[in-house]
Structure 1
Amino acid sequence: MKDISIDNATLSEKIAETIRGYILSGTLKPGDRLTEPKLSEMLGISRTPIREALRLLEMEGFVEIFPRRGAVVSVITDKDVDEIFVLKMKLESLAARLAVKNLTNEDIKKLEDINEKMEKYSLTKNVANLIKLNSEFHNLFISKCNNLRLVKFLESLLRQFKRATAYSFTETGRILKVLDEHKEIIEAFEERDADRVEKLVERHIRSGWAFISNKVAGKAV
Structure 2
Amino acid sequence: MARLEYDESENLVNSLRGKVFNQLRKQILTGVYKPGESLIELRLSEELGVSRTPIREAIRQLELEGLVQSIPNKGVIVKGVSEQDVEDIFIIRTMIEGLAARWAAEKITDEEIKELQEALELEEFYTIKNDAQHLMTYDSKFHDIIFKASKSRPLMHMLSTFHFYIQSARNNSFETPGRPVKALDEHRAIFEAIKNKDADTAEKLTIQHITNASMNFNKTHQK
* TM-score computed with the length of structure 2 as normaliser: 0.80
SS at match of 1:72: strand
The question of whether the paired residues in 2 share the 8 Å contact of 1:88 and 1:154 is answered with: no
Matched, 1:126 2:132: yes
Residues 7-16 or 97-106, more deviating:
7-16
Structure number with greater CO (CA < 8 Å, separation at least 6) is 1
Q: CA distance change for structure 1 residues 125 and 169 in 2, over 3 Å: closer, same or farther? A: farther
SS at match of 1:143: helix
**What's the counterpart of residue 5 of structure 1?**
5
**1:11-160 equivalent positions in 2, closer than 5 A:** 11-55=16-60, 57-58=62-63, 63-66=67-70, 68=72, 70-122=75-127, 123-127=129-133, 129-160=134-165
Residues 149-158 or 176-185, more deviating:
149-158
SS at match of 2:178: helix
**1:186-201 equivalent positions in 2, closer than 5 A:** 186-201=191-206
Deviation at 1:105, TM superposition (A): 1.3
Q: CA distance change for structure 1 residues 50 and 213 in 2, over 3 Å: closer, same or farther? A: same
Q: CA distance change for structure 1 residues 17 and 130 in 2, over 3 Å: closer, same or farther? A: farther
Q: Which amino acid aligns with 1:47?
A: R
Q: Which amino acid aligns with 2:4?
A: I
Q: CA distance change for structure 1 residues 50 and 172 in 2, over 3 Å: closer, same or farther? A: same
The superposition leaves residues 105-144 of structure 1 with CA deviations (integer Å, 9 ceiling, x where unpaired) of 11111111112222333324333x4333322221222233
Q: CA distance change for structure 1 residues 164 and 73 in 2, over 3 Å: closer, same or farther? A: farther
The superposition leaves residues 8-37 of structure 1 with CA deviations (integer Å, 9 ceiling, x where unpaired) of 993344434543454355332122121212
The question of whether the paired residues in 1 share the 8 Å contact of 2:35 and 2:78 is answered with: yes
Deviation at 1:215, TM superposition (A): 2.3
The question of whether the paired residues in 1 share the 8 Å contact of 2:40 and 2:76 is answered with: yes
Matched length:
216
Deviation at 1:187, TM superposition (A): 0.5
Deviation at 1:98, TM superposition (A): 1.8
Q: CA distance change for structure 1 residues 148 and 65 in 2, over 3 Å: closer, same or farther? A: farther
Report % sequence identity: 36
Q: Which blocks of at least 5 consecutive residues in structure 2 are unaligned?
A: none
Q: CA distance change for structure 1 residues 117 and 52 in 2, over 3 Å: closer, same or farther? A: farther
Residues 71-80 or 191-200, more deviating:
71-80
Deviation at 1:184, TM superposition (A): 0.8
The question of whether the paired residues in 1 share the 8 Å contact of 2:173 and 2:216 is answered with: yes
Q: CA distance change for structure 1 residues 165 and 142 in 2, over 3 Å: closer, same or farther? A: same
The question of whether the paired residues in 2 share the 8 Å contact of 1:78 and 1:217 is answered with: no
| Distance of 1:6 and 1:120 partners within structure 2 | 35
Q: What RMSD, in angstroms, separates the aligned Cα atoms of the two structures?
A: 2.8
Deviation at 1:210, TM superposition (A): 0.7
Q: Which blocks of at least 5 consecutive residues in structure 1 are unaligned?
A: none
